A = this chain, B = another copy of it.
């Protein structure tokens, strides 16, 4: 290459290309060359300064919003008696295999560098089931929450909050209990969380795998096609019935009459009264599976009425949920797309009674050696961040908690500033100072302003000689305050503590 004496660094943010001399590596690195592996010797000719596709950095302001979201959610999870556990970011590949249906192709694998075959976790549910199966008796009953990152090699849509690395906030109840009681509490928790997060109006679509499977049986869908047809039905939130029908018939090989009879059912939406309607349907009455699902839903609605969240729910017979592991009630929380920043689904979950058993092995009779029924919900907080960030647009987000800036008037007072800072730190007061021997006064005021620091403590040689300090409340714009009040140095901590208490 004619250009071999230079290489490029591309800064993706500024779309700026910098030409470099071929010896651009720092001296420290050059002297070190002989320790590099051969791979490192071949430094790439250009470094693209970016995060991997579908991932992003979170700035301090975004983190402030995120911390608020996590605090709100965690508070509610704890209110409902949950503990938290943590699992590794990657699992043995075989643990994840066969759990995600068609989406398994989105799993990230680690490179084979010798040793075990591992993959990044795709959700927090499968690792939780693995944890319960592994820990035997001790965790057969647990309410746990887990906030952690999960990974999917999906096509990213950053503005909609669809990323390849994203957080999920999961709450699950594992254990053998009486029907629909934990299910009702999970839905109550979901409503509490979405209300507390102030994301605006939302609806929880709800359905039951057994009702859906029963409908497919009633409509005489071949057993082997049920999941495939189920996936098609699930698209009804995005596509009109005609297109879904076309897919069922043309792509998935269903007869038109079967598709039409499915259509009669899955177009149904409504409240509790829809359960009554279904109970009068001759097809449903004769289908055991569907009747079990209906009985579950009646009981659930009774409980949800007591828990005062039934008005948030909408029975939607087209809701199917793609994942293989659901066995009972399924739900999905959505925000109206018309809302500013509204982005569709913000949470989803359901009952999965067989997943732990899949890990636990089988006894001599061929039954799972352990059966731990589970129900849970996962909040997709990236979408919630998007909504909240849209709400907060233009508002200033405070990311720093500094309470006091120690301002020096004059030069070489750095040790005095440190001495003062030490006293404040010892008393748990959040204090900072500028790291300069000759700090400019206007720059120190500007720092106060920029970081929204409420108090300034000012020292100069006069104050030091008199063992005094000046204290100024930066929130008061009144000029009468002047340079602030004069205090005995020895009284500063007490005075600040009093003022910060009211803060």
Contact = CB atoms under 8 A, between A and B. Distances in A.
A392 interface: no
B436 A113 contact: no
Contacts of A419: 306
Contacts of A80: 425, 430, 432
Interface residues of A, number: 136
Contacts of A400: 81-83
Contacts of A82: 400
Contacts of A432: 80-81
Interface stretch (A177-185, A239-247, A337-345, A464-472): A177-185
Nearest to A364: B19
Interface stretch (A100-108, A263-271, A289-297): A100-108
Interface stretch (A23-31, A278-286, A312-320, A328-336): A23-31
Interface in A417-431: 418-419, 421-422, 425, 428-431
Contacts of A78: 401, 430
A12 B418 CA distance: 54
B29 A98 contact: yes
A401 B83 CA distance: 8
Interface in A179-194: 181-182, 184-185, 188, 192
A358 B26 contact: yes
B29 A324 contact: yes
Contacts of A142: 60
Contact of A35 (B84, B102, B136, B173): B102
A88 B18 contact: no
Residue of A26, A130, A360 contacting most chain B CB atoms (<10 Å): A26
B94 A47 contact: yes
Nearest to A67: B84
Nearest to A49: B134
Contacts of A97: 39-40, 43-44
Residue of A59, A88, A302, A428 contacting most chain B CB atoms (<10 Å): A88
B89 A361 contact: no
Contact of A85 (B59, B109, B134, B430): B59
Contact of A58 (B24, B36, B85): B85
Contact of A436 (B177, B228, B363, B402): B177
A354 interface: yes
A72 to B, nearest CB: 12
Contacts of A48: 92, 94
Contacts of A11: 133-134, 136, 360-361
Nearest to A74: B67
A359 to B, nearest CB: 6
A319 B134 CA distance: 43
9 contacts: A14-B136, A18-B361, A29-B358, A34-B224, A35-B228, A40-B104, A52-B116, A89-B149, A306-B419
